[in-house]
């Protein structure tokens, strides 16, 4: 009887793992679909400027990345020393590495 109970637990855990894996797979499929190539995928107000850039740099590829982040939240995070939304593997030149008090004095 104990062996049968262990098999039921194993089957339950396996099904649970598969359902979680499927959910994660579907979630990341949706996230990946929010990255679209082409100037037409940017807001209308950006497109004329991007077309000008494309004329000057025909080899550039324009990819819109939809983050679903609030613009004010992004700006607030980017303006905080040591706290930003730039991926860790990007160069420090992309990041705010100067404390705000020093930034204010240097202006």
Rounded Cα–Cα distance for residues 33 and 41 (Å): 12
The residues spanned by each domain of the chain are 1-33, 35-68, 70-107
Rounded Cα–Cα distance for residues 5 and 7 (Å): 5
Q: How confident is the model at residue 45 (pLDDT cuts 50, 70, 90)?
A: very high
Q: Compare 5 and 48 and report the one with higher pLDDT.
A: 48
Beta bridge mates, 37: 63
Report percent pLDDT > 70 for the chain.
73
Would you say 84 and 95 are in contact if contact means Cβ atoms under 8 Å apart? Answer: yes
Would you say 85 and 77 are in contact if contact means Cβ atoms under 8 Å apart? Answer: yes
- Mean per-residue pLDDT of the chain: 76
Q: What is the pTM of this model?
A: 0.43
Q: Give the contacts of 75 (CB within 8 A, at least 6 positions apart).
A: none
pLDDT tens, residue by residue, 46-96: 999 999 999 999 999 998 877 777 888 888 877 777 777 777 777 877 777
């Amino acid at each position: 009887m104990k062996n049968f109970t262990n098999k039921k637990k194993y089957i339950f855990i396996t099904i649970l793992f598969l359902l979680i894996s499927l959910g994660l797979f579907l979630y990341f499929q949706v996230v990946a679909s929010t990255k679209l190539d082409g100037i037409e995928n940017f807001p209308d107000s950006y497109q004329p400027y991007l077309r000008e850039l494309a004329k000057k740099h025909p080899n550039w590829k324009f990819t819109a990345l939809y983050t679903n982040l609030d613009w004010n939240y992004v700006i607030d995070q980017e303006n905080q020393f040591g706290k930003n939304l730039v991926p860790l593997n990007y160069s420090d030149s992309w990041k705010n590495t100067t404390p705000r008090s020093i930034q204010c004095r240097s202006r």
